[in-house]
């Protein structure tokens, strides 16, 4: 099975509707822990409405938890739910398997060079 197909198959097996942007949002929520919607807007370089829709979908699927911020009751902090943590852990596993498969036959030096080149391409495409 192709590597992208493995990720799609795992998402389907987990019985969730999930887009790459939602995966990124969940990864950022995990990385920042207690992140605000505004922080996601900034980290993902998306508009507020798009992030609000992503958050709503993730919340409907019980993948994230919203909690009022203790310092500012108007603001909401986002956390992964247990279900969200488990899904992200499994997707991380699949992602590592995919990377290992993609780099089969590459030396450590070649893999490192490829990573550096891809990071430069990404930097060139970033705004």
> What domains can you pick out in the chain, each with its CATH number?
3-125 (1.10.10.10)
Computed on alpha carbons and rounded to an integer, the radius of gyration of the chain in Å comes to 17
Cα–Cα nearest to 63, from 27, 94, 31, 9: 27
Q: What distance in Å separates the CA atoms of residue 28 and residue 24, rounded to the nearest whole number?
A: 6
Do 69 and 76 meet the contact criterion of CB atoms below 8 Å apart? yes
Q: Give the global pTM.
A: 0.76
Model confidence pLDDT, tens digit, residues 6-30: 656 666 665 566 788 999 999 999 9
Q: What phi, psi does 10 have (nearest 5°)?
A: -70, -40
Indicate whether 82 pLDDT > 80.
Answer: yes
- Compute the average pLDDT of residues 39-68: 94
């Amino acid at each position: 099975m192709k590597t992208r197909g493995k990720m799609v198959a795992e998402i389907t097996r987990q019985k969730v509707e999930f887009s790459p942007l939602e995966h990124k949002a969940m990864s950022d929520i995990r990385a920042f822990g207690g992140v605000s919607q505004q922080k996601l807007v900034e980290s993902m370089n998306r508009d507020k409405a798009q992030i609000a829709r992503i958050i709503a979908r993730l919340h409907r699927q019980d993948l994230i938890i919203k909690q009022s911020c203790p310092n500012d009751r108007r603001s909401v902090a986002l956390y992964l739910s247990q279900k969200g943590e488990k899904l992200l852990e499994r997707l991380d596993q699949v992602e590592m398997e995919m990377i290992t498969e993609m780099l089969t036959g590459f030396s450590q030096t070649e893999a490192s060079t490829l990573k550096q080149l891809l990071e430069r391409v990404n930097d060139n495409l970033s705004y």
